[in-house]
């Protein structure tokens, strides 16, 4: 609980809460609604981030404002509308559920909030709330298993901007990438195995699809590609033991623009596998901690259309860890480890 105001302070001293520990869970973000105006506002913030688009602003901003924001929002709004729920965006609803579950698991020892890098709730606003609640120690937990400057790096940029604008600052820790954490690999294996067992067909292939990045990011030293590949290798090792007849491969989705992206591409591979005679596929997205547009529309809807259209027969898009038992056990274990000495 916050410590009381010292009796030795002047009576007119502003009341300041102290002594708490905070946890801020952060995910990518989402539009406020599945309409073109909301999507345009979201895309403007997202695609103006220099970590996301590393083209000089003088060249990029005219393209973004003159072309992309006049053409892409309507198409993206249609995609969001296909997966929107009564609770809003799936990503927003699941991230909020993860934060609520962590609060229950951690109890009064920690004040848990959640934020989005783009859109609402904003990182700065949630850090303000934690500070006002008396949190003098705060763990920032970006829910990205694989580090990239465009994801975890961008979250820390936003935290740094908040730090620059405040006089009273908490002690900060950050959750490191967990792409090769044994708990993460075990949680994925158990959860995906349960989902595969529940299917009404036996997949020949498990495709692990990660969000793509321009190949240039790898060449500049971003570890994202290596992190993804290591997750696939470790997960493939355990699946070879439990499912020896299941082939496991890695692909990258969500290409955007003319630049060369990480390969092989998920959409191209789905078509190529079907044409090569693969009839039954399960696809999973280990890089996402919560289901979102990229898993529910790009993979589950468009991916199915691409595979079946090319001659495949059975297709299943497996869910992310989300706020399920395996996912929450993992998050609690990692958070408690990083909060060691604070709680």
Domain contains 343: no
The whole-angstrom separation of Cα 243 and Cα 246 is 5
At 135-151, the pLDDT tens digits run 999 999 999 999 999 99
Residues 192 and 297 in one domain: yes
Assigned domain for 2 exists: no
Same domain, 57 and 168: yes
Q: Is the same domain home to 160 and 206? A: no
pLDDT-derived band at 204 (thresholds 50, 70, 90) equals very high
Burial 212-246 (b: 16+ CB within 10 A, else e): bbbeebeeeebbbbebbbebbebbbebbeeebeeb
Whole-number pLDDT of residue 229: 98
- The verdict on 139 and 211 lying in the same domain is no
Do 124 and 208 lie in one domain? The reply is no
CB 181 within 8 A of CB 227: no
**Ordered alpha helix ranges (H), 7-122:** 36-47, 57-63, 69-83, 90-106
Domain containing 146 equals: 20-178+327-338
**144 and 38 within one domain:** yes
- Strand partners for 114: 25
Identify the band that residue 269 occupies on the pLDDT scale cut at 50, 70 and 90.
Answer: very high
What CATH number has the domain bearing residue 95?
A: 3.40.50.1400
Same domain, 89 and 208: no
Residue 14 has pLDDT above 90, yes or no: no
Residue-level pLDDT at 257: 79
How many angstroms separate the CA atoms of 305 and 271, rounded? 10
Residues with Cβ < 8 Å from 291, sequence gap 6 or more? Answer: 90, 91, 94, 319, 320, 322
What does the angle CA 198 – CA 204 – CA 207 come to, to the nearest 5 degrees? 85
Confidence band, pLDDT 50/70/90 cuts, at residue 81: very high
* Domain-located, residue 76: yes
Top pLDDT among 2 and 269 is at 269
**Per-residue pLDDT reduced to its tens digit, 254-265:** 998 788 999 999
Q: Containing H/E element for 251?
A: strand 247-253
313/331 same-domain check? no
Considering the domain boundaries, does residue 155 fall inside one? yes
Domain count, the chain: 2
DSSP 272-338: HHHHTT--EEEEE-TT-SS--HIIIIIIIIIIHHHHHHTT--EEEE----TTSHHHHHHHHHHHHHH
Same domain, 112 and 88: yes
Q: Give the model's pLDDT for residue 176.
A: 98
Containing 270, the helix (H) or strand (E) segment is helix 266-275
Q: In this structure, are 157 and 35 located in the same domain?
A: yes
Angle (nearest 5°) at CA 116 between 114 and 122: 85
Longest dimension (CA), the chain: 79
Query: Would 69 be classed as within a structural domain?
Result: yes
Q: Are residues 172 and 203 in the same domain?
A: no
* Cα–Cα distance for residue pair 51/71, rounded to 1 Å: 23
List the beta strands (DSSP E) in 105-161. Answer: 111-118, 135-142
Give yes or no for residue 200 having a pLDDT over 80: yes
User: 183 near 334, Cβ under 8 Å?
Assistant: yes
| Token code pair at residue 7 | 């009796």
Query: Are both 137 and 105 inside the same structural domain?
Result: yes
The string of pLDDT tens digits covering residues 205-256 is: 999 999 999 999 999 999 999 999 999 999 999 999 999 999 999 999 999 8
Burial, 56: exposed, middle or buried (Cβ in 10 Å; 0-12, 13-18, 19+)?
exposed
Phi, psi of 138 (to 5 degrees): -135, 130
Report the SS3 class of residue 116. Answer: strand
Nearest to 28, CA basis, from 146, 128, 113, 143: 143
Per the domain annotation, does 11 fall within a domain?
no
9 assigned to some structural domain? no
Asked whether residue 144 is assigned to any structural domain, the reply reads yes
Q: In what order do the strands lie in the sheet with 205-211?
A: 247-253, 205-211, 280-284, 314-317
């Amino acid at each position: 609980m916050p410590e009381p105001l010292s009796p030795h302070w002047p009576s007119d001293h502003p009341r300041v809460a102290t002594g708490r520990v905070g946890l801020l869970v952060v995910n990518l973000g989402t539009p406020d609604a599945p309409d073109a105006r909301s999507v345009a506002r979201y895309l403007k913030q997202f695609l103006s981030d220099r970590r996301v688009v590393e083209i000089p602003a003088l060249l990029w901003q005219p393209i973004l404002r003159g072309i992309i924001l006049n053409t892409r929002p309507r198409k993206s709004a249609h995609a969001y509308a296909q997966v929107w729920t009564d609770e809003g965006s799936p990503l927003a609803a699941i991230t909020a559920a993860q934060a609520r579950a962590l609060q229950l698991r951690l109890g009064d020892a920690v004040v848990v909030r959640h934020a989005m890098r783009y859109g609402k709730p904003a990182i700065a606003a949630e850090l303000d709330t934690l500070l006002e609640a008396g949190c003098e120690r705060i763990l920032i937990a970006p829910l990205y298993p694989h580090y990239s400057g465009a994801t975890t790096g961008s979250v820390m940029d936003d935290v740094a901007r908040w730090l620059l604008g405040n006089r009273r600052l908490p002690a900060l820790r950050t959750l490191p990438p967990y792409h090769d954490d044994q708990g993460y690999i075990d949680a994925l294996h158990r959860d995906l195995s349960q989902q595969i067992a529940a299917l009404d067909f036996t997949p020949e292939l498990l495709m692990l699809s990660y969000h793509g990045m321009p190949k240039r990011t790898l060449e500049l030293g971003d570890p994202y590609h290596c992190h993804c590949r290591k997750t696939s290798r470790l997960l493939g090792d355990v699946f070879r033991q439990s499912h020896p007849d299941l082939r496991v491969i890695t692909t990258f989705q969500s290409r955007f623009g003319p630049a060369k992206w990480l390969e092989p591409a998920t959409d191209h591979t789905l078509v190529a596998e079907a044409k090569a005679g693969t009839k039954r596929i399960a696809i999973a997205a280990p890089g996402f901690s919560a289901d979102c547009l990229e898993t529910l529309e790009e993979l589950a809807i468009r991916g199915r259309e691409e595979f079946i259209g090319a001659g495949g027969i059975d297709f299943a898009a497996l869910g992310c860890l989300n706020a399920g038992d395996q996912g929450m056990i993992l998050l609690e274990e990692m958070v408690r480890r990083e909060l060691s000495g604070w709680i």
